[in-house]
Structure 1
Amino acid sequence: MSHFLGEFDCKLDAKGRMVIPSGLKKQLPEVEKEGLVINRGFEKHLVIYSRKEWDKITNDLNGLNLYEAKTREFVRYFTRGATELTLDAAGRVLLPKKLLEFAGIDSDVVLSCQLSKIEVWAKDAFEDQLDKEPEDFARLAEEVMGGAGRRTND
């Protein structure tokens, strides 16, 4: 499985359409055939998945015990607003208005590639989030990545 790379500044037009940057589009060869899925992120941003990645996630969700109230609640909120995106003839995708409102996105957008997903942020919110970088990033890395059984970089 390949992972996405890069950060891209974009603008939405008055209708909420965004051109997929060429550097990102090259990383999405199946997008015209299979499409993309956009959804709410855990923070106030949106997340774009390839259709294949979204199908893996929903298969995982489908395997959860839906008789448990917390599981139903999580699935309900996680999938809320999920929408399929398709490219138009000009290489644009129309972002759903409700999702844009949720994330506080107006016109300036940052697409931030995060492994198998693409986060969609209002530009000012993205910059604010980067300003909150931990003082001791090395310690955070050790806590997250240095656990027992983790493979080290050789």
Structure 2
Amino acid sequence: MFLGTYAPKLDDKGRVILPAKFRDELSGGLVITRGQERCLYVFTEREFENVHEKIRQAPVSNKQARDFLRVFLSGASQERPDNQHRVTIPATLRDYANLGRDLTIIGAGSRAEIWDTETWNAYYESTEAAFSDTDEEVIPGLF
């Protein structure tokens, strides 16, 4: 499970060092793809296969499902960490997420997310109040 918040830097070659707590889980390979709110999702290869299978079950006749599948999968990139635990983020994904040098990587349970730090800070600030107000209707049985 991916948990926590980390602040690595993007190097000049578009690589990022994976947070130490994520390395074991991602060492066998990972998939980076477009996420919602202009971040990047990082899945283990196995979890990505699970997500893909769920997407495939949506009816092809549903335009919203087709659109989601196209955007989600067309940006996907299989990566393998190097010996220094770095992964390359492809230029198209860096552009999509508007990544600068300062990154924020968060654990989001079944995936990690990579954010430009300024974008993450703005997102967090704008959603923190709503987080405080979340009730049981949003996530049934949580509390």
TM-score (norm 1): 0.84
Q: Any unmatched runs of 5+ in structure 1?
A: none
Match of 1:13 in 2: 11
Match of 2:134 in 1: 140
Match of 1:100 in 2: 94
Counterpart-to-counterpart distance in 2, 1:23 and 1:152: 26
Query: Structure 2 counterpart of 1:72, which letter?
Result: R
Pick closer, same or farther for the CA change 1:15–1:137 going to 2, 3 Å: closer
Q: Any unmatched runs of 5+ in structure 2?
A: none
Match of 1:72 in 2: 66
- Determine if the alignment matches structure 1 residue 4 to structure 2 residue 7: no
Deviations 1:76-126 (A, max 9, x none): 122121000111122110110110011110211110111111110001111
Deviations 1:36-95 (A, max 9, x none): 000011111111011111000111122222133332222112212100011112211011
How many residue pairs were aligned?
Answer: 143
Match of 1:59 in 2: 53
Larger Rg over CA atoms: 1
TM-score (norm 2): 0.90
Counterpart-to-counterpart distance in 1, 2:7 and 2:89: 15
Percent identity over the alignment is: 27
Runs of 4+, deviation exceeding 4 Å? none
- Determine if the alignment matches structure 1 residue 32 to structure 2 residue 30: no
